[in-house]
């Protein structure tokens, strides 16, 4: 019976044969170290990011390689996996009454454990819809997120963040993913990274503490005490969570 590394290597090589690529060409197309596959064959644990890049180049979902690398019987292995629930979706320009799906609609996925997180920090998934961040996350990507109060810090420049806006006029909430930046004036700037001209203007929040959701809030019903009023007539803005990884990109034709 093949072990985790053998299964992973077999899957990678099968996809290389389908694409008609050599080992060197595969590593070049994936943008990873040219010795990456050789290192796996020698028993070195691959990083999840490396497997995700290989999966993208070889046109399979990242989970096809990630799950192959996970131990199947509880033994220590290349990757330890745990259950994460995809609880909702983010999509610019869509205003809804509820931001979190009913628990019966949650999607159960397996994601590699993340030793960087503080003890007890809960991860949850969000499905990307629309093109408001498609330069980084194509529609269909699954984002793995952690709330900032679980990270024990606020947002830092370069973080990809989940942003919620509440509009009394429109009667609903909008949840999107943005890139956070504190500019030279101390303002909080939330940038879309989109190919769509309709989603290229940033949200700019004045100086002061970043409007981060408190522990009293949840993805479904937020505590808006710390929300920032964007501009006259614009919705309230609240930063809830940080994107820490992407488990699955949109499906590609094989």
Strands 123-128 and 81-90: parallel
CATH architecture of the region 4-69: Orthogonal Bundle (1.10)
Domain spans, the chain: 4-69, 82-248
Task: Assign 190 to helix, strand or coil.
Answer: strand
Per residue in 117-160, pLDDT tens? 888 889 999 999 988 888 888 888 889 999 998 998 999 999 99
Say whether pLDDT at 218 is over 60.
no
Per residue in 10-51, pLDDT tens? 889 988 988 899 999 999 998 888 899 898 888 887 887 788
CATH class in words for 82-248:
mainly beta
The alpha-helical segments, DSSP class H, found in the chain are 4-19, 23-30, 36-41, 48-57, 62-69, 148-151
Buried b (16+ CB within 10 A) or exposed e, 236-246: bbbbbbbbbbb
Q: CA 197 → CA 47, 97, 202, distances in Å?
A: 35, 26, 12
Q: From the centroid of its chain, how far is CA 40?
A: 25
Mean pLDDT score of the chain: 81
- Directed axis angle between helix 4-19 and helix 62-69, to 10°? 150
Per residue in 177-209, pLDDT tens? 999 999 999 999 999 988 888 888 999 988 888
């Amino acid at each position: 019976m093949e072990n985790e590394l053998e299964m992973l290597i077999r899957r990678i090589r099968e996809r290389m044969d389908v694409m008609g690529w050599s080992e060197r060409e595969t590593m070049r197309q994936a943008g990873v170290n040219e010795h990456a596959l050789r290192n796996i064959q020698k028993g070195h644990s691959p990083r999840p990011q490396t497997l995700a890049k290989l999966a993208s180049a070889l046109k399979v979902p990242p989970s096809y390689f990630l799950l192959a690398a996970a131990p199947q019987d509880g033994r220590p292995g290349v990757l330890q996996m745990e259950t994460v629930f995809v609880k909702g979706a983010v999509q610019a320009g869509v205003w809804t009454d509820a931001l979190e799906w009913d628990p019966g609609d949650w999607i159960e996925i397996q994601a590699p454990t993340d030793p960087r997180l503080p003890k007890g920090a809960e991860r949850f998934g969000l499905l990307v819809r629309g093109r408001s961040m498609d330069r980084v996350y194509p529609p269909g990507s699954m984002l793995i997120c952690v709330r900032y109060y679980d990270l024990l810090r606020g947002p830092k420049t370069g973080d990809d963040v989940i942003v919620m806006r509440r509009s009394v006029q429109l009667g609903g909430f909008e949840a999107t993913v943005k890139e956070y930046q504190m500019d030279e004036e101390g303002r909080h700037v939330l940038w879309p990274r989109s190919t769509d001209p309709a989603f290229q203007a940033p949200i700019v929040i004045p100086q002061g503490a970043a409007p981060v959701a408190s522990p009293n809030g949840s993805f479904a019903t937020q505590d808006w005490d710390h929300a920032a009023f964007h501009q006259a007539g614009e919705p309230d803005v609240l930063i809830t969570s940080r994107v820490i990884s992407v488990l699955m990109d949109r499906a590609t034709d094989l």
